[in-house]
Structure 1
Amino acid sequence: MINFGEVNETNKMVEQENLDVRTITIGISLLDCMDSDLDQLNTNIYNKITTVAKDLVKVGKEIENDYCIPIVNKRISVTPIALVGSAACKSPEDYVTIAKTLDRAAKTVGVNFIGGYSALVSKGMTPAEENMIRSIPQALACTDFVCSSVNVGSTKTGINMDAVRLMGQMVKETAQYTKEQDSLGCAKLVVFCNAPDDNPFMAGAFHGVTEADAIINVGVSGPGVVKTALEAVRGESFEVLCETIKKTAFKVTRVGQLVAQEASKRLGIPFGIIDLSLAPTPAIGDSVAGILEEIGLEYAGAPGTTAALALLNDQVKKGGIMASSYVGGLSGAFIPVSEDQGMIDAVTAGALTLEKLEAMTCVCSVGLDMIAIPGDTKATTISGIIADEMAIGMINQKTTAVRLIPVIGKGVGETVEFGGLLGYAPIMPVNPYGCDAFVNRKGRIPAPVHSFKN
């Protein structure tokens, strides 16, 4: 059991080191909402969400007040909408009505984001799934809180290159649809390989079809806590370094465990997983890049960066799994550029490039995240970048993702301001050479030989 002594130990972390519970996310199954009539489907979806999640924000605030632990976001994830809408939606425009319903439900219950405007197409696409994917640009342009994701590959199935090609086009269209907001819609769109069913972090969250009718997942974050702990062992051996990270991750995860148990009890919804991901914010000191620098790098991106990130990711997971029986999701360290002031500084200094970020994704939690690129980048180039990242996930049996933002009307050397947790980002250069002939091949890249384990 968790005791109040453990809670008191976190006071300094909360007050001085940016420790927070990044999100309480209710996952809600919409499978029982399915109907062949579009109007009835939308009514069912709205009623289910607003009933199950009606007390989420209130309970989150109560837990904050009772334990003095900041809970930054209260979120909802739902069953992938490509499945839910398959019987009723005959066009992309039909799917957009569901996006609007999700947005309206999110506003009614007062959450920050709702995820699950998603499709799982790692091996092939049905007509309904293609319609849903083609609806994404319009859906993200006409909603405020809806987040979208598409899983286009897995270790078991390979990479659906038809979906990869289509997603390059959708990223560009989403950028165009939201160009008046510096292509902000792309910040709510993730392309996955090996997407987990129980991820509470946006924009990639959805409620997996293997999950219960409703579930509580909690995401905890504390880059500042880890950095502060490492400052006390500066210059010590790798053994001391690793032990310090593990112990700190353990303490951070226990905070999430407490919040998850309380939320589950008060909402009457089963507890799913704790996701211990060092997710940075633009706040000074709340940076994964800052941890890498404390480990011994001049800037993130310097030689040794991938090794340092691998060490960090592994020790965070080792500490987390000792603190909770249900650690899952994407636990480890995120490296989003726009949300991490240290990453932004490294890009500005010329220490961190898109190619180095790709190398780092081999050992981190997700992938190429919140990276602003020139608005005139071709759709096929975006598809090529997606394909590279999906290959890393497929071969290494890990989750990888891409969240690129081609900012319409802006180029290398300019910056784009997203605001809030999304921060700001310098526009990064993209390799100018084409991959059109590769991307335009039909079909899929087969699963690797080590996928045959059954």
Structure 2
Amino acid sequence: MINMYEVNETNKMIEQENLDVRTITLGISLLDCIDADLQELNRKIYEKITRLASRLVETGEDISKEFGVPIVNKRISITPIALVGGAACKTPEDFVTLAETLDRAAKEVGVNFIGGYSATVCKGMTQADELLIRSIPQALASTERVCSSVNLGSTKTGINMDAVRLMGEIVLETAEATKEDDSLGCAKLVVFCNAPDDNPFMAGAFHGVTEADAIINVGVSGPGVVKTALEQVRGESFEVLCETIKKTAFKVTRVGQLVAQEASKRLGIPFGIVDLSLAPTPAIGDSVADILCEIGLEYAGAPGTTAALALLNDQVKKGGVMASSYVGGLSGAFIPVSEDQGMIDAVVANALTIEKLEAMTCVCSVGLDMIAIPGDTKASTVSGIIADECAIGMVNQKTTAVRIIPVIGKGVGETVEFGGLLGYAPIMPVNPYSCEAFVSRKGRIPAPIHSFKN
């Protein structure tokens, strides 16, 4: 039973410490919409999404009012569109019509993002996969709420370097296609290694083929809650530090579990998972970097940062799994630059570089996230950054990702403003030396030796 002390404690976390449920994400399978006729395929997709998601936003708002828990976003994830559109789409432009249909459906039901304009090409690309990937710049430029992702590798298959090379070009083309909005399209495009099927967070959410016809996944947040808890144990031992993080993560995850079960019951759709990631926002006091400073660093990026982040990530997971039987998605600590004021401050102070962020991704949830770089960066350099991050994921059997934004017309020392939850970011320098000959090799990097577990 929940007692009054816990109720009051939760209220304090919500009112003073930025606790929220970051997203309720409705996953929808579109496999039964597949049709060789493009017009009919678009019709089926629109009708299924608008039918199943018609009450999603209303239900989320009702739960938020009744329980007093802020639910920031209501979102949809769908089956990777490369699979759904393969029979009907013969050109990149055909796939763009599907993106526009997804955007219309998202607007109709009122969600802020729909994820799943995606392909999974860990080992090779079908013609449909390649057509979808080549359509991404136009699709993201012509839509408002569509998010795209491409899974380029896994521990079991290795890294598809042909796709890595292509995605470097696509990232720059997307930046160019949306340059009037400071290359905002790249904020809705993420590349993965070991992408999970049940991630509720954008821009990487898609509804994997292992999932049911429809599912409710919830992503919680709460960096501010963790930081406030750690302020009470300054100078204490690592044992006390770890126990405090675990107990706090438990409380945060219980809120997510409650919201997920209630949304599942009201919508008549099965509950999938709670993603217990610490997802920061630009709001002051809602920063993962500030937690690292509270642990004992002058800035995120100082010596000891990777160790502190590893500790934080592990204790968040240990506390969270005790609060819910179904933890999934990414689950851990996110370290985006533009969405985290503490990370921005560290970059401005020259404490944090892309290379240090890459090292930190070895021990956290995702990867190089929401990083703005000069608009004249070469496609091969972007591909090299992607390859490095994929290698970390492949070898360490974890999810890694890159969401990098070459801001056309801007360079190091300038700032780009994205607005809302996406925040703002200083343009970060990239290593100037070439990896062209490396990423130009054809084929794939083989899976590591420890992938053979059958």
The yes-or-no answer on 1:313 pairing with 2:304 is: no
Cα distance in 1 for residues equivalent to 2:130 and 2:59: 38
Cα distance in 2 for residues equivalent to 1:2 and 1:325: 18
Identity of aligned residues (%): 86
Q: Give, in angstroms, the shift of residue 232 of structure 1.
A: 0.2
Q: Which position in structure 2 is the counterpart of 1:279? A: 279
Q: Which position in structure 2 is the counterpart of 1:9? A: 9
Cα distance in 2 for residues equivalent to 1:4 and 1:255: 15
Q: Which position in structure 2 is the counterpart of 1:54? A: 54
Q: Which position in structure 1 is the counterpart of 2:145? A: 145
Q: Give, in angstroms, the shift of residue 9 of structure 1.
A: 2.9
Q: Which position in structure 1 is the counterpart of 2:349? A: 349
Q: Which position in structure 1 is the counterpart of 2:211? A: 211
Alpha carbons 1:334, 1:364 under 8 Å: kept: yes
TM-score by length of 2: 0.99
The 5-angstrom pairing of residues 105-144 of structure 1 reads: 105-144=105-144
Cα distance in 1 for residues equivalent to 2:114 and 2:2: 30
What is the DSSP-based 3-state SS (H/G/I as helix, E as strand, rest coil) of the residue aligned with 2:276? strand
Alpha carbons 1:365, 1:399 under 8 Å: kept: yes
Give the CA RMSD over aligned residues. Answer: 0.8
The yes-or-no answer on 1:154 pairing with 2:154 is: yes
Cα distance in 1 for residues equivalent to 2:137 and 2:280: 27
Cα distance in 1 for residues equivalent to 2:280 and 2:202: 13
Alpha carbons 1:92, 1:135 under 8 Å: kept: yes
Cα distance in 1 for residues equivalent to 2:326 and 2:205: 17
Alpha carbons 1:7, 1:255 under 8 Å: kept: no
User: Cα deviations across residues 231-251 of structure 1 (Å, max 9, x unaligned)?
Assistant: 000000000000000000000
User: Cα deviations across residues 150-183 of structure 1 (Å, max 9, x unaligned)?
Assistant: 0000000000000000000000000000000000
What letter is aligned with 1:58? Answer: E
Q: Which position in structure 1 is the counterpart of 2:331? A: 331
TM-score by length of 1: 0.99
What is the DSSP-based 3-state SS (H/G/I as helix, E as strand, rest coil) of the residue aligned with 1:421? helix
What is the DSSP-based 3-state SS (H/G/I as helix, E as strand, rest coil) of the residue aligned with 2:204? coil
Alpha carbons 1:277, 1:331 under 8 Å: kept: yes
What is the DSSP-based 3-state SS (H/G/I as helix, E as strand, rest coil) of the residue aligned with 1:76? strand
Cα distance in 1 for residues equivalent to 2:9 and 2:295: 24
Q: Give, in angstroms, the shift of residue 255 of structure 1.
A: 0.2
Task: Name structure 2 gaps, 5 residues minimum.
Answer: none
Q: Which position in structure 2 is the counterpart of 1:261? A: 261
What letter is aligned with 1:204? Answer: G
User: Cα deviations across residues 10-29 of structure 1 (Å, max 9, x unaligned)?
Assistant: 10000000000000000000
Q: Which position in structure 1 is the counterpart of 2:228? A: 228
Cα distance in 2 for residues equivalent to 1:205 and 1:2: 32
Alpha carbons 1:2, 1:254 under 8 Å: kept: no
Q: Give, in angstroms, the shift of residue 80 of structure 1.
A: 0.1
Cα distance in 1 for residues equivalent to 2:4 and 2:265: 17
User: Cα deviations across residues 290-331 of structure 1 (Å, max 9, x unaligned)?
Assistant: 000000000000000000000000000000000000011000
What letter is aligned with 1:360? Answer: M
What is the DSSP-based 3-state SS (H/G/I as helix, E as strand, rest coil) of the residue aligned with 2:401? strand
Alpha carbons 1:177, 1:183 under 8 Å: kept: yes
Q: Which position in structure 1 is the counterpart of 2:97? A: 97
The 5-angstrom pairing of residues 291-306 of structure 1 reads: 291-306=291-306
Q: Which position in structure 2 is the counterpart of 1:197? A: 197
User: Cα deviations across residues 378-429 of structure 1 (Å, max 9, x unaligned)?
Assistant: 0000000000000000000000000000000000000000000000000000
Q: Give, in angstroms, the shift of residue 4 of structure 1.
A: 7.5
The yes-or-no answer on 1:76 pairing with 2:76 is: yes
Task: Name structure 1 gaps, 5 residues minimum.
Answer: none
What is the DSSP-based 3-state SS (H/G/I as helix, E as strand, rest coil) of the residue aligned with 2:329? coil
What is the DSSP-based 3-state SS (H/G/I as helix, E as strand, rest coil) of the residue aligned with 1:46? helix
Cα distance in 2 for residues equivalent to 1:211 and 1:316: 25
Residue 83 to residue 228, structure 1, CA distance change in 2 (3 Å): same
What is the DSSP-based 3-state SS (H/G/I as helix, E as strand, rest coil) of the residue aligned with 1:10? helix
Alpha carbons 1:75, 1:112 under 8 Å: kept: yes
Cα distance in 1 for residues equivalent to 2:232 and 2:135: 51
What letter is aligned with 1:424? Answer: Y
Q: Which position in structure 2 is the counterpart of 1:87? A: 87
Cα distance in 2 for residues equivalent to 1:448 and 1:61: 46
Q: Which position in structure 2 is the counterpart of 1:387? A: 387
Alpha carbons 1:7, 1:67 under 8 Å: kept: no
Cα distance in 2 for residues equivalent to 1:57 and 1:193: 31
Residue 3 to residue 255, structure 1, CA distance change in 2 (3 Å): farther
